[in-house]
Structure 1
Amino acid sequence: MIHQLTFLFIGGTEIVFVLLVVVLVFGADKLPEIARGLGKGIRQIKDATNDIKHEISNSAKENNIIDTDVTKNVKDELNKVKDDLEEFTGSLKRNK
């Protein structure tokens, strides 16, 4: 069975074709500048999302909407169960 590289439902040849078109349209000298701009944009979106998450969690804590002790205890218990399950299934997994 042959496994093909797929990314967002696009195959490897399509990715190569799109990259070739991008190089032809923008030129090889502009690609680093475009990539840098895209990276900065993605970073700004990430930072904005994290700020929103922090604001929501802080306002929830201030209004006692979320009991952080209870959620921390639940997360700890879930992690313990997960670790126990991984320890148990580790001996059952087969190497391919």
Structure 2
Amino acid sequence: MENILLFNFFGPEMLVVLFAILLLFGGKKIPELMRGIGKGIREFNTARSTLESELKDGMRDAERKEAESKEERSNA
């Protein structure tokens, strides 16, 4: 079976895609489109880092509570 790689295009294929984007959106709309994409990527990265920090805090709290409960059991 052949391996199909998504988004693996360079050279002529990339030029065709860029030309199609230019035709669809026009020269004046492309900067606005890129700003929108950049804003979306920034929001995604912010949400990802927030979620990552919340998960790490939750795991740290769970480990701390587990250690405290083991300590209480050993003292009893």
1:12-47: CA deviation from partner (whole Å, max 9, x where unpaired): 111111111111111000000000000100111111
Gaps of 5+ in 1: 1-6, 66-96
> SS where residue 27 of structure 2 aligns?
coil
CA distance in 1, matches of 2:7, 2:21: 18
CA distance in 2, matches of 1:46, 1:12: 29
Map of 1:36 onto structure 2: 35
> SS where residue 49 of structure 1 aligns?
helix
- Equivalent pairs counted in the alignment come to 59
Larger relative contact order, structure 1 or 2 (CA cutoff 8 Å, min sep 6): 2
Gaps of 5+ in 2: 1-5, 65-76
CA-atom RMSD, angstroms? 1.6
TM-score by length of 1: 0.57
Aligned pairs for 1:1-40 within 5 A = 8-40=7-39
CA distance in 1, matches of 2:58, 2:10: 44
Moved over 3 A (4+): none
* Aligned residue identity for 1:26: F
Richer in strand (by share): 1
Identity rate of aligned residues, in percent? 32
Richer in helix (by share): 2
* Aligned residue identity for 2:56: S
TM-score by length of 2: 0.71
CA distance in 1, matches of 2:43, 2:9: 27
